[in-house]
């Protein structure tokens, strides 16, 4: 089968990534195989078929796990700086293929081309971070209460790390996990979203080439494909000590229960219901830029997308009018055209969810300020393009309490001081990202204090979306509590061990206990 996608040079991008025809969706490295059904990947950009991927069966999965568990035995004993050199080479390959991979991300997922390139840049950045980390993996030393003894802590690799990623960041989230896991001495088995399977195949091919050129065994980087049933192969498998899962809160609860039942570890990055607080001391221009990009970027399909704008009553109309005016300037269309601001939703199911959310907010008493709707006609043939919408609402509304993965922004009004706004901000089940727009130092510090935002990410004078590699990424409450990417997030991919060494000829016991023979 020849892929029919030609939009904005996609045929050349697919060729550069080696994705022509039907792609086998199971891999242990350079070894590709699959005996399952086919997944057809259609672009939400224009509805065209990009390619097909075969799914992983239970028998295929067993072959993957045999390769992974065998590879771990040799990969874990390679010095970390040598593992870092392999990751460095992987980052260089990503630099070389940044344009075609970024174009594939944009075309298969629907985000803008610049965001697609930005996602690949995040992959490059985490490789750079991981390379430096490979010479800094550390433990602690502490004083023993027993003379002639030394105590210290060290970290060892876990083994096979299972990664389940979502469609909205089809390559970056995998790299956040796998670059750190590889540095730590782990091997990885990745199940990408069935809504963006070709991105997974492309990344695996790049990684496999690097591992093969370094004479490394099959199984360090593995790929499986399919729906949630394939994900269950990992969540129920005692050979996978850590499962990192990104997706909805509903999915995360299932993963946590399943992995927890076998006393495994889970790293969860789940839903967000992110808010920007706008105080009377806010810079309105900065607020509009942060709020609009946060709400419509990636068509509202980021876990860090801005869902709620909490505005002080004294400036409510001013901010509302400014945001509404900004929405009039948005250009919706093919995301590979850099003149457009907003691309499509991932599929028609997402469109239906968007429409239900708008109906629900009106049903609960909300007021639609910027009407939504599905776009039709030339350029919108996929049926996945919608208008970003704005609604005045109350934080107590059921629809506001839930995450809608679409460009729907709720305007909420608060009175009094910033404590009241923080209470509204924290008054949802999710706790991923948050922001405050203010030039008042006291308000900013109050927002960042122990009694302020309860989210894993709290920003001042920038929006809720986006994250830098250097900081740990993740959230609290129903967001799952996991941390990926920078800071000391590497520790979750390792097991901690406390060591005590006696370098004397005696064996004193702790706490002065006597045990003489």
The pLDDT tens digits of the residues spanning 350-408 come to 999 999 999 999 999 999 999 999 999 999 999 999 999 999 999 999 999 999 999 99
| pLDDT tens for each residue of 462-517 | 999 988 999 999 999 999 999 999 999 999 999 999 999 999 999 988 788 888 77
Residue 508 forms part of a structural domain: no
Which of these is catalytic: 115, 194, 218, 269?
Answer: 269
Residue 513 forms part of a structural domain: no
State the residue for tokens 């901000």: 425
Q: Which residue has the higher pLDDT, 131 or 509?
A: 131
User: How many structural domains compose the chain?
Assistant: 2
Residue 17: CATH number of its domain: 3.40.605.10
Q: What is the DSSP letter of 491?
A: G
Can you give the pLDDT at residue 6?
57
Rounded distance between C-alpha atoms, residue 335 and residue 296, angstroms:
13
Grade residue 239 by pLDDT with cuts at 50, 70 and 90: very high
- Helix, strand or coil for residue 485? strand
**In which domain, by residue range, is 92 found?**
7-270+480-496
Q: How many other CB atoms are found less than 10 A from the CB of residue 383? A: 16
Q: Which residues pair with 163 in a beta bridge?
A: 190, 244
Q: Are residues 189 and 323 in the same domain?
A: no
Residue 78 forms part of a structural domain: yes
- Show the tokens assigned to 266: 């889970």
Residue 269 annotated among the catalytic residues of the structure: yes
Q: Are residues 230 and 148 in the same domain?
A: yes
- With a CB cutoff of 8 Å and minimum separation 6, the contacts of 387 are 332, 370, 371, 372, 373, 374, 375, 407
Q: Are residues 249 and 291 in the same domain?
A: no
Grade residue 22 by pLDDT with cuts at 50, 70 and 90: confident
Q: Are residues 278 and 266 in the same domain?
A: no
Can you give the pLDDT at residue 517?
77
Can you give the pLDDT at residue 134?
98
Q: Are residues 83 and 173 in the same domain?
A: yes
CA distances from residue 389 to 287, 409, 413 in whole angstroms, order as listed: 18, 6, 18
Whether 17 and 101 have beta carbons less than 8 Å apart is answered as yes
> Residue range 15-40: average pLDDT?
92
Query: What's the chain's average pLDDT?
Result: 96
> Residue range 224-243: average pLDDT?
98
Q: Are residues 200 and 172 in the same domain?
A: yes
Residue 243 forms part of a structural domain: yes
Q: Are residues 316 and 254 in the same domain?
A: no
- Looking at the predicted structure, is the pLDDT value of residue 184 above 90? yes
Q: Are residues 244 and 335 in the same domain?
A: no
Q: Are residues 323 and 233 in the same domain?
A: no
Grade residue 226 by pLDDT with cuts at 50, 70 and 90: very high
Grade residue 95 by pLDDT with cuts at 50, 70 and 90: very high
Q: Are residues 136 and 105 in the same domain?
A: yes
Can you give the pLDDT at residue 1?
32
> Residue range 172-177: average pLDDT?
98
Residue 461: CATH number of its domain: 3.40.309.10
Q: Which residues pair with 484 in a beta bridge?
A: 473
Grade residue 9 by pLDDT with cuts at 50, 70 and 90: confident
Which of these is catalytic: 127, 188, 222, 303?
Answer: 303
């Amino acid at each position: 089968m020849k892929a029919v996608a030609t939009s904005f040079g996609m045929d050349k991008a697919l060729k550069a990534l080696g994705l022509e025809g039907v792609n086998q969706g199971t891999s242990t490295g350079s070894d590709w195989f699959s005996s399952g059904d086919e997944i057809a990947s259609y672009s939400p950009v224009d509805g065209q078929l990009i390619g097909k991927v075969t799914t992983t069966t239970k028998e295929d999965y067993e072959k993957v796990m045999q390769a992974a568990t065998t590879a771990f035995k040799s990969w874990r004993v390679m010095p970390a700086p040598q593992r870092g050199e392999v990751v460095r080479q992987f980052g260089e390959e990503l630099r070389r293929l940044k344009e075609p991979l970024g174009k594939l991300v944009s075309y298969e997922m629907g985000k803008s081309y610049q965001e697609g390139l930005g996602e690949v840049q995040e992959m490059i950045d985490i490789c750079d971070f991981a390379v430096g980390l490979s010479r800094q993996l550390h433990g602690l030393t502490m004083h023993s209460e027993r003379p002639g003894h030394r105590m210290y802590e060290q970290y060892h690799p876990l083994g096979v790390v299972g990664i389940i990623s979502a469609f909205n960041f089809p390559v970056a989230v995998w790299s956040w996990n796998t670059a750190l896991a590889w540095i730590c001495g782990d091997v990885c088995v990745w199940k990408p979203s069935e809504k963006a399977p070709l991105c997974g195949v492309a990344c695996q091919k790049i990684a496999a080439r690097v591992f093969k050129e370094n004479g490394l065994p099959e199984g360090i980087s593995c790929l499986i494909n399919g729906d949630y049933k394939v994900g269950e192969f990992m969540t129920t498998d005692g050979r996978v000590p850590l499962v990192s899962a990104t997706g909805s809160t509903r999915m995360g609860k299932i993963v946590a229960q399943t992995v927890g039942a076998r006393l495994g570890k889970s790293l969860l990055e789940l839903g967000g219901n992110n808010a920007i607080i706008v105080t009377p001391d806010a810079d309105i221009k900065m607020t509009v830029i942060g709020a609009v990009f946060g709400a419509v970027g990636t068509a509202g399909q980021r876990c860090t997308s801005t869902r709620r704008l909490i505005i002080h009553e004294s400036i409510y109309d001013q901010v509302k009018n400014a945001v509404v005016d900004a929405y009039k300037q948005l250009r919706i269309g093919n995301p590979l055209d850099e003149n457009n601001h907003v691309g499509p939703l991932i599929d028609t199911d997402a469109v239906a969810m968007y429409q239900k959310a708008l109906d629900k907010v009106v049903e609960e008493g909300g007021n639609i300020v910027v009407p939504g709707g599905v776009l039709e006609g030339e350029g919108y043939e996929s049926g996945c393009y919608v208008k970003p919408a704005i609604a005045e609402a109350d934080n107590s509304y059921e629809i506001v309490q839930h995450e809608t993965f679409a460009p729907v922004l709720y305007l909420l009004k608060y009175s009094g001081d910033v404590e009241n706004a923080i209470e509204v901000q924290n008054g949802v089940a999710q706790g991923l990202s948050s922001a405050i727009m203010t030039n008042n130092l006291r308000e900013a510090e109050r927002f960042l204090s122990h009694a302020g935002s309860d989210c894993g990410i709290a920003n001042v004078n920038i929006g809720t979306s986006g994250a830098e590699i250097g900081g740990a990424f993740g959230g609290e409450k129903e967001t799952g509590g996991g941390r990926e990417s920078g800071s000391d997030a590497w520790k979750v991919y390792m097991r901690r061990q406390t060591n005590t060494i006696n370098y004397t000829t005696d064996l004193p016991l702790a706490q002065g206990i006597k045990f003489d023979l």
